[in-house]
Amino acid sequence: MTGPDKNKLFPNERIKTICYLKNLPPKTNVEIGEYTYYSDNKNPPEKFYDNIEHHYEFLGDKLIIGRFCAIAEGIKFIMNGANHKMDGITTYPFNIFAGGWEKVTPTVEQLPYKGDTVIGNDVWIGQNVTVMPGVNIGDGAIVAANSTVVKNIEPYTIYGGNPAKFIRKRFSDKTIEWLLELQWWNWDEKKIFANLEFLTSEIEF
């Protein structure tokens, strides 16, 4: 035995509130790494995709989540489809109501576009967090519960609040550099199993 079966939706059959997201049916423009899980005590966790909002294929933006991430219930990923054209006198989307108003339908190029939303590896996202379009959250970062992430988060830092602000680094710069080179999340199952005590122990350079 070298750990749970990464190919199961529910890695622990006794706990149906936690699922491995990689094993959900594939969804266009969503990429999720192995062992990343979603936990939800209010709704079936396999409905995770319902938490990705305004994600339209024609815009082409992706939600990319790395390996070994822990994502708590209440997560909301707001994608680029939520954006309104902002360079006119009003931001009101007349065009979606038809009745002749569609004559001012903006082109895709005229809409604000923030790019892909990218969550690194080994990221812990607390309950009821909202992640705005185009945000990048670095490896090993922690986002506190009830936060709204509006800008990029550096690796191995802790952010919290609305809008989410820097709280502190998890480790010294030297340790962070070493961890980013280590990339333990890319180890195979046997190596991870053999180093579980090391991976869960305190470390600081």
What does the alpha-carbon distance between residue 185 and residue 182 come to, in Å, rounded to a whole number?
9
Angle at 197 between CA 34 and CA 14, to 5 degrees: 50
Residues in Cβ contact with 47 at an 8 Å cutoff, skipping those fewer than 6 apart: 40
The active-site residue, picked from 84, 151, 165, 191, is 84
Q: What is the DSSP letter of 54?
A: S
What does the alpha-carbon distance between residue 86 and residue 170 come to, in Å, rounded to a whole number?
37
What does the alpha-carbon distance between residue 9 and residue 201 come to, in Å, rounded to a whole number?
28
- Tokens 């992640």 -> residue: 131
Q: Is 84 known to be catalytic? A: yes
Give catalytic residues, as residue numbers. 84
